[in-house]
Amino acid sequence: MTQPPWTGTEGPEPSGPVISAGAELDPVHPPTRPPVTARRRVSPTGLTTAEVADRVARGQINDVPVRSSRSTVDIIRGNVFTRFNAIIGVLWVIMFFVAPIQDSLFGFVIIANTGIGIIQELRAKKTLDSLAVIGEAKPTVRRDGVAAEVSTSEIVLHDLVELGPGDKVVVDGEVAEADSLEIDESLLTGEADPVVKQPGDLVMSGSFVVAGGGAFTATKVGREAYAAQLAEEASRFTLVASELRSGISTILKYVTWMMIPTATGLVISQLVVKETNVKDSVARTVGGIVPMIPEGLVLLTSVAFAIGVIRLGRQQCLVQELPAIEGLARVDVVCLDKTGTLTEGGMDVAELRTLGGTDEPYVRKVLGALGESDPRPNASLQAVIDAYPDSEDWRCTESLPFSSARKYSGASFSEGNGEESTWLLGAPDVLLPPGDPVLADIDQLNQHGLRVLLLARAAGELDAADVAAGAKPTALVVLEQRLRPEAADTLRYFGEQNVAAKVISGDNAIAVGAVAGKLGLPGAADTVDARRLPAEQSAMAEELDANTVFGRVSPQQKRDMVGALQSRGHTVAMTGDGVNDVLALKDADIGVSMGTGSEATRAVAQIVLLNNSFATLPSVVAEGRRVIGNITRVATLFLTKTVYSVLLAILVVCSQVEYPFLPRHLTLLSTLTIGVPAFFLALAPNTERAKPNFVRRVMRYAIPAGVIAGTATFCTYLLARSHYSGPGALDAETSAATLTLFLVAMWVLAIIARPYTWWRIALVATMGGAFLLVLVVPWLQHFFALKLVGTTMPWAAVAVAAAAAALLEFTWRWVDRRFPADAETRTTSRTTSRRRSHRWR
């Protein structure tokens, strides 16, 4: 076996403490490691094929499973083993022994609903998993002297992994090569300042490169890597941490506490106090308990989210955290980076203007040499490379890679004639002093939406702190950016939806404004140079509210801008694709990355547009609004049933009468007034912007509606008890009460279904027709034990229902006036650090 280039068959132990699998990990303060005192000898060609095979055989591979979704076992467990399914399951078993099969129908409904939930989540899992493979990071590994992209899971111990700007460090390692390598470890430490790395320094998985390049040797792979251990502690896939789900959990908690004493009182009333048939008493007791449980609400929410993931997946949109669908629907400000978002990644050299009488062929040689000096060029430098081929007689002796903080790159050359020269290429307004006459020409170019780079000859050494001072301007490289064809329509959509768009870019403010103007963004003419923005948060927030386009924004400023907007109560989405966008993406309520963006941006973003189409965002917003708006609608239906069921049980206990319904009656009512309509309403289009305070918005309708429905039903029941007598009276009383409850519940459904469309009207009419069919078909009458006796009581039941419907309309309108939805405000305060959570791939 070929030995590795260091001593020992297993390789040396990495310096620093070893973290045990069960140890508690602090994502903000990662374990400190002592400085490396001795360099490991690393082969510049990387491992050989034989060495890789040997490590694979020994299991020294990066075998951490990428969990883009819950496992199949977790999905089944989460849908089957719920609190309410356990309660209903016990009641179902009891009903098998004491009542006909008709009274056990609620159990079959639960099985069907749970099966639907499992199937939909499995479909969503398949979509997520397939998209995660598409968007997976492909690190470059050097083996046998050849660099090639491999899957993250194919990295083995001691692999030589190459790094460039935007690359994520996927395993722990030690720097072997460094070319002005700067790494951002803020995802691990919370410290935003990049760290300069030299050969021998340690790098940890989860950090990413912001400038320069190099390579590192993998010293910890698989579950031993730091990021992998954090991922073990906190799985990335979650169905919580959203207002919708937390609101539903709050509602269910109160329902549970309310249901326990009510159900206990009902059991005592029906089995002990009333001297009726035991089996009939059990059946009616169960009939009173089952409808208290809003079991379908959680299921329907899961189904709505799952279908949302599937729909967005078909558009090549990877939702890395399910609450992101909901979050983007609540957004009222979207911050856009220009490059890669409003414009396509590529650029073209439109013009080369020499300055100071410099010979153009000589400038072309300089540009060609500069392009060759950077092994990982950004989009601007790639355009220069495409336009100007490298001059073979120029040799690069030192290079300074581009960084967002510097706004320029540079290199020193030994020219063909032996002369040494140092050149800088970057932002003109950074390299030139204020008031330089060249800046006036540049402003004119920027006003036409052109991007301009300045080529300048440095007066000092490249490693000098003030290398840009005294640089002599030599040429202007005019670049033409490619506008995304769909950007204008997307910006127009956000405007129509009352979502404010803010363009914040590191480019020249005038150039950014020109691009935004071409796309029809209101306010694009009034641009702001971010270097003159106040640092104080409230003052910055005022500037952000008053303006739309900001240029020369530093990465830290982007983050501060997001925080300033959040301090004003805004829900902020941030889009971007570059390393300079990562800090802002982390702190934004919703981070959106392009699929071709850097690994770092894809790692921290909650939504990745794999097709790189800005036009996908409206679909994500629409999907979120559909989920939130429709779940709010159907939640009102479910909780109205819970309220009237609890009220009926209380009234029965207090009045010491038989419970008016058998389980079969409430199964029929729930199916026709809630179950089937809720399924269609939950999946219907809905473009209304999401509003806060989910629990309050639902309960302000559900409580009065449930009280009115329960009171009207019990009144009809009492009237029927006084009207009917003799054998079969209980069935007649139940039929009359069922008619009233159905009509009132249908009126609630009719209100929820507004505004009406043809299919909503058809849905309500179909449910009404189905109930009428049960009343007129003899075998259905017998099956559901429903038969209206005489004409007086049925019409009385209708009259009571009509009065209740009128009261519902009045109450609904009063609630809208007394508690207007648009007047609701958020009650929770925001801070700029509220989204410092860690997201691991």
Q: Is 441 a catalytic residue?
A: no
Residue 7 per-residue DSSP state? S
DSSP per-residue codes, 420-474: EEEEEEE-HHHHS-TT-HHHHHHHHHHTTT-EEEEEEE-SS-TTSTTTTTTPEEE
pLDDT at 187: 59
pLDDT at 264: 80
pLDDT at 819: 66
Tokens standing for residue 70:
């819950």
Distance between CA atoms of residues 364 and 360, nearest Å: 6
What does DSSP say about strands 549-551 and 527-529: parallel, antiparallel, or unpaired? Answer: parallel
pLDDT at 764: 94
Tokens standing for residue 535:
């640092």
* Residue ranges matching CATH 1.20.1110.10 in the chain: 72-126+239-309+621-820
Q: What CATH number should be reported for the domain whose range is 346-483?
A: 3.40.1110.10
pLDDT at 826: 39
* Residue ranges matching CATH 2.70.150.10 in the chain: 49-66+140-233
Residue 675 per-residue DSSP state? I
Name the residue among 819, 676, 505 with its Cα closest to residue 116.
676
Contact 743, 808 (CB under 8 A): no
Tokens standing for residue 34:
């002592």
Tokens standing for residue 33:
């490691």
Using N-to-C axis directions, what is the helix angle for 437-446 and 509-518, rounded to 10°? 20
Q: What CATH number should be reported for the domain whose range is 49-66+140-233?
A: 2.70.150.10
Contact 11, 157 (CB under 8 A): yes
Task: Tell me how crowded residue 231 is: count the other CB atoms within 10 A of its CB.
Answer: 23
Residue 37 per-residue DSSP state? -
pLDDT at 705: 93
Distance between CA atoms of residues 410 and 769, nearest Å: 77
What does DSSP say about strands 500-504 and 549-551: parallel, antiparallel, or unpaired? Answer: parallel
Contact 734, 661 (CB under 8 A): yes
Using N-to-C axis directions, what is the helix angle for 243-268 and 295-313, rounded to 10°? 160
* Residue ranges matching CATH 3.40.1110.10 in the chain: 346-483
DSSP per-residue codes, 291-324: GG--HHHHHHHHHHHHHHHHHHHTTTEEESSTHH
Name the residue among 686, 726, 645 with its Cα closest to residue 325.
686
Name the residue among 688, 675, 806 with its Cα closest to residue 749.
675
What does DSSP say about strands 572-576 and 333-336: parallel, antiparallel, or unpaired? Answer: parallel
Regions of the chain with pLDDT less than 50:
1-40, 231-241, 822-841
User: Which residues lie closer than 8 Å to 473 by C-beta, 6 or more apart?
Assistant: 355, 356, 428, 431, 432, 436, 438, 454, 455, 456
Distance between CA atoms of residues 110 and 116, nearest Å: 10
Tokens standing for residue 433:
């002093």
pLDDT at 706: 92
* Residue ranges matching CATH 3.40.50.1000 in the chain: 318-342+484-612
pLDDT at 66: 53
Distance between CA atoms of residues 772 and 765, nearest Å: 10
Tokens standing for residue 314:
């078909």
Name the residue among 339, 838, 337, 322 with its Cα closest to residue 620.
322
Residue of 167, 179, 337, 581 marked catalytic = 337
Q: What CATH number should be reported for the domain whose range is 318-342+484-612?
A: 3.40.50.1000
pLDDT at 447: 78
pLDDT at 16: 34
Residues 72-126+239-309+621-820, CATH architecture = Up-down Bundle (1.20)
Residue 687 per-residue DSSP state? -
Counting Cα atoms < 13 Å in the Cβ hemisphere of 587 gives: 25
Distance between CA atoms of residues 106 and 84, nearest Å: 13
Counting Cα atoms < 13 Å in the Cβ hemisphere of 809 gives: 9
Distance between CA atoms of residues 321 and 606, nearest Å: 6
User: Which residues lie closer than 8 Å to 111 by C-beta, 6 or more apart?
Assistant: none
Distances in Å between the alpha carbon of 107 and those of 91, 95, 104, 110, 781?
9, 9, 6, 5, 21
User: Which residues lie closer than 8 Å to 297 by C-beta, 6 or more apart?
Assistant: 248, 251, 252, 634, 635, 638, 639
Residue 471 per-residue DSSP state? P
pLDDT at 313: 81
For the chain, the C-alpha Rg in angstroms (whole number) is 34
